[in-house]
Amino acid sequence: NAGVTQTPKFQVLKTGQSMTLQCAQDMNHNSMYWYRQDPGMGLRLIYYSASEGTTDKGEVPNGYNVSRLNKREFSLRLESAAPSQTSVYFCASSVGSRWQYFGPGTRLTVT
């Protein structure tokens, strides 16, 4: 039982490049989320998927797209990376209202 896994762990991009961050959970959770954490700050919600087949914007969705590939997987895509997207990205999943678990994070630097 690996919980929430994310790949890659680290990534460096040049401005304008694209990439996809992958997330998978093996806990049979219905809901999945993408957050970003900037230095010295709490996490902010980018997108979420309340259930398989649905996705919705969070607080800071600009510059990102998501795909809920199936119940297990939820990917985050940066189409044209910008230095302002340098951050640590966390994927999370939840079941019900009380339990929310996070992946280990992806540290992304855009130069």
Partner 1 sequence: AQKITQTQPGMFVQEKEAVTLDCTYDTSDPSYGLFWYKQPSSGEMIFLIYQGSYDQQNATEGRYSLNFQKARKSANLVISASQLGDSAMYFCAMREGGAGGYNKLIFGAGTRLAVHP
What is the smallest separation between the CB atom of 110 and partner 1, expressed in angstroms? 19
Footprint on residues 72-111 left by partner 1 (CB under 8 A): 88, 90, 92, 94-102, 104-105, 107
- One of 10, 39, 41, 53 touching partner 1 (CB under 8 A): 41
By the 8 A CB rule, do 95 and 31 touch?
Answer: yes
61 contacts partner 1 (rule: CB under 8 A): no
- One of 5, 44, 75, 86 touching partner 1 (CB under 8 A): 44
- Measured from the CB atom, the residue of 85 and 94 that comes closer to partner 1 is 94
Burial class (CB in 10 A: 0-12, 13-18, 19+), 81: buried
What is the smallest separation between the CB atom of 80 and partner 1, expressed in angstroms? 26
Q: Which residues bind partner 1 (CB under 8 A)?
A: 30-31, 33, 35, 40-45, 48, 50-51, 58-59, 88, 90, 92, 94-102, 104-105, 107
